[in-house]
Structure 1
Amino acid sequence: MTEVMLRVARPSDAAAIQHIYGYYVEHTAVTCDVTTPSITELMQRIERTLQKFPYLVATLNEQVVGFAYVSPANPRAAYQWTVETSIYIDRNCRGKHVGTKLYEMLEELCHRMGVVNMTAHIVYPHDDQPDQYLTLASPKFHAAYGYRLAGRFDRNVYKFNKWYDMIWMEKSIAKHEQNPAPILNFNAIKTRVFAK
């Protein structure tokens, strides 16, 4: 059986990422994008993220089957120890623990960087009932990895002619120390985990 492998994303992965992400944009309320970003835009997102933070892809038989990355929860300096996570898996590759491997690696990298808090901003059914565009898979996935509900925003998202709530889930991966050291740039630690 072929093993799922992880590596740092490259701009050349943009087409594969577009294929995966486009399904969620066009057929689900999981993402707040309403049109699929172009390959050029996705290349720019990868490059922009990798200037400071991890952006990973999972491959199976050398094909990209999932991706995950973190971004600043807020660009202001006092928020630097808190990141927002994003993860998407090829809809035809579920059940192979791709999400598990991506999230475990993402958390390890963030811990090495000195990140303290990981957050997930998740679209959620306003009436708590899943529909054809939105399941409860994401909040359940995050809860299984130790994330807890931190807040719920009433009807913040409008997609497919319907209002959805937004929930924020969070997980602390380090102690909240006094005078924490500034977080490290991902590029300072990536070679400890990934070959060049």
Structure 2
Amino acid sequence: MSTIEEVRPATESDAEGIAAVFAPYATDSVVTFETTPPTAEQWRAKIRDSPLPFLVLARDDVVLGYAYAAPWRPKPAYRHTVETTIYLAQGTTGRGYGRRLLDELLKRCAEAGARQAIAVVVDSGSPASANLHRKAGFTDAGVLRRVGFKHDRWLDTLLLQRELG
């Protein structure tokens, strides 16, 4: 068995691992506005139905993180703009995994015809996600103030944007 981490397309068999990575973010943090973690079956459907890249970073088939793109908005004029999402398993940050996932996601989005990528980052008081995106070439595009309420606090979202090609 390999002990090398690989970035690859997600498969439906990754759904349990993806659910396990995301669940603590939904229940215990403010980095997502989700409050109820999606089930493995909901993740399977998202993987199966995704028209855009959905990637995992795995070691020995254990999901250490995932990243995917989704349409930014449903109107036809936005068809070349995607929103990126990236999450790492607890305890795996600071190892370059996020950058590997994000770089590969952006490359595959460009290959799929996307021209702009948008990241919506909750201003949780921790700059890690915004810094990851900035290091990957995203620039600040704006702040939406007090648009989310979770764990008894109002939260802002930072919009970041990157041209893909």
Instruction: Give the TM-score band, short-chain normalised.
Output: over 0.9
Give the aligned partner of residue 147 of structure 1.
138
Structure 2 Cα separation of the partners of residues 2 and 39 of structure 1: 25
Specify the code of the residue in structure 1 equivalent to 2:39: S
Quote the Cα distance in structure 2 between the aligned partners of 1:95 and 1:12. Answer: 26
Q: Residue in 1 aligned with 2:160?
A: 169
- Listed one character per residue, the Cα deviations across residues 161-192 of structure 1 (whole Å, up to 9, x for unaligned) are 10001111000011xxxxxxxxxxxxxxxxxx
Give deviations 1:132-182, integer Å, cap 9, x for gaps.
xxx2211111111111111111100100010001111000011xxxxxxxx
Q: Does 1:110 align with 2:109?
A: yes
Runs of 4+ in 1 over 6 A off after TM superposition: none
Matched, 1:160 2:159: no
What aligned pairs does 1:5-20 form with structure 2 within 5 A after superposition? 5-20=6-21
**Considering only CA atoms, is the larger Rg found in Structure 1 or Structure 2?**
1
User: What is the CA–CA distance in structure 2 between the aligned matches of 1:13 and 1:170, rounded to whole Å?
Assistant: 28
Query: Is the partner of 1:105 in helix, strand or coil?
Result: helix
Correspondent of 1:137 among 128, 144, 147: 128
From the two aligned structures, give the one with the greater strand fraction. Answer: 2
| Matched ranges for 1:1-196 at <5 A | 2-49=3-50, 52-125=51-124, 130=125, 135-174=126-165
Seq. identity, %: 29
| Matched letter for residue 45 of structure 1 | K
What are the Cα deviations for residues 20-78 of structure 1, in whole angstroms up to 9, with x where unaligned?
Answer: 000111111111100111121111111121xx101011111331111000000011111
Aligned residues between the structures: 164
Q: For structure 1, which runs of at least 5 residues remain unmatched after alignment?
A: 175-196
Q: Distance in 1 between matches of 2:132 and 2:77?
A: 29
Q: Residue 72 of structure 1 aligns to which amino acid in structure 2?
A: P
> TM-score under structure 1 normalisation?
0.80
Deviation at 1:2, TM superposition (A): 3.1
Name the aligned partner's letter for residue 10 of structure 2: A
Query: For the aligned residues, what is the CA RMSD?
Result: 1.3
Distance 1:81 1:47 in 2: 21
Unaligned runs of 5+ in 2: none
Q: How far off is 1:95 after superposition?
A: 2.5
**TM-score scaled by length of structure 2:** 0.94
Shift of 1:89: 0.6
Taking structure 1 as reference, are residues 26 and 161 closer, same or farther at Cα in structure 2, changes over 3 Å only? same
